[in-house]
Amino acid sequence: MNISIGIVAYNESASISKMLHSLFQQSLFSKPDSNTVIEIVVLPNGCTDDTAIVAENTLKELVKPSLHSNLQWRVCEIEQAGKSNAWNVYVHQLSNPTANYLFLMDSDIQLLDTNTQTLHSMLHILETMPEACVAVDKPIKDVTIKENKNLMELLSSSVSGLSGSKAVEGGAAWICGQLYCARAEVLRKIWLPTKLPTQDAFLYTMIVTDGLKSTEEPNRVILAPSASHVFEAYTSINRLLRHEKWLIRGSTINELIYSDILANDNQQQDAGSLIKHRNEQDPLWLNKLVQSTIQEKGWWLIPPFILIRRFKSLLQKPLHKAILLLPLAMTAFIVDLLLSFQANLELHQGVGIGYWGKQTK
């Protein structure tokens, strides 16, 4: 088995060493299989701090030639900031072309030392379920495992209850861009728009619809059993609202891209090739798509599902829990409405396309 692990980093000099230490506690590294070849590619992009140096020094410390004879690593700095661009560079240029599976990881998460089988579990899903294209783990907010929570930490934990139905281990799941494992041949058919604000939803749609060629097949993305990681949740109102507005902008832009790709279906180009061509021909094509849509469709761009998502999630919960969560859903709806107006205005002003951001917090 040949595995490549891409770690995307933007100004994470304070956290990347801790993340790498948690990575090497995984059984994939602590008890390596002689039949498994692994590469680690760290991708600092547009960094203005010492992320690359810290990553290099940490990997020199962690990699033991006597134990990791089948492991290679590189730190490849990318001048242009942006997760979408770094993703394209890693998947299509830097990852081992003979790799069977690609892991994508953020540099600010932590793999639990009490669960050293997370990566193995994700690989096992792809090895044993031919229909699965991507294996994911369970993202856990750090505040949910904190014993004494303040008011904002309680609020952050509660909002998670309005995120829709929860995936079942071994069943269909959503992609969290913080950590996932995919079949290399699947990801290499996909290109991300260079200025894409959010990647998770776009990747999910491209994978479960085979690049918009078919109806959704959710079983292409599976939650691995006993697999999880921890990430830092937003616990200030300003950061939380800014993040939610970023997600609304990202969802809106994704919908515009899907519609545009389907409208160009007569060009006999698959979605990946079309986006690759546009990235190469005009780095600002996504900005121009937004502006042309405004001219064509008028002022309002935000998709309707953004405003009904909180109530829709209640329909998937037991009646007693839905009643308890209704006041929170009403409050979240009002906040979504206000943020949607702001996001819509910012899209008209060209704000937010290409913004780096943090995901799923």
pLDDT of residue 113: 83
The C-alpha angle 169, 174, 178, rounded to 5 degrees, equals: 100
**What number is the average pLDDT over the span 234-251?**
87
Q: How far is it, in rounded angstroms, from Cα 157 to Cα 295? A: 40
| Residue 65 confidence (pLDDT) above 80 | yes
Specify whether the CB–CB gap between 94 and 41 falls below 8 A.
yes
Q: 10 Å Cβ neighbour count for 272? A: 18
pLDDT of residue 357: 39
Q: How far is it, in rounded angstroms, from Cα 70 to Cα 340? A: 49
**Interacting residues of 286 by C-beta distance below 8 A, sequence separation 6+:** 193, 194, 195, 196, 253, 257, 353, 354
Q: How far is it, in rounded angstroms, from Cα 84 to Cα 220? A: 22
Across the beta sheet with 101-106, the strand order is 71-75, 37-44, 2-9, 101-106, 179-183, 134-141, 221-231, 110-111
Name which CATH class applies to 2-233: alpha beta
pLDDT class of 361 with cuts at 50, 70, 90: very low
**What number is the average pLDDT over the span 115-120?**
95
Q: How far is it, in rounded angstroms, from Cα 148 to Cα 89? A: 42
* From-to residues of CATH 3.90.550.10 in the chain: 2-233
pLDDT digits (tens, 9 = 90+) for 273-284: 999 999 999 989
pLDDT of residue 42: 98
pLDDT digits (tens, 9 = 90+) for 22-60: 999 999 999 999 899 999 999 999 999 999 999 999 999
pLDDT digits (tens, 9 = 90+) for 155-201: 555 555 555 557 899 999 999 999 999 999 999 999 999 989 889 99
| pLDDT top residue among 280 and 357 | 280
pLDDT class of 353 with cuts at 50, 70, 90: low
102-120: b (≥16 Cβ within 10 Å) or e: bbbbbbbbbbbeebbbbbb
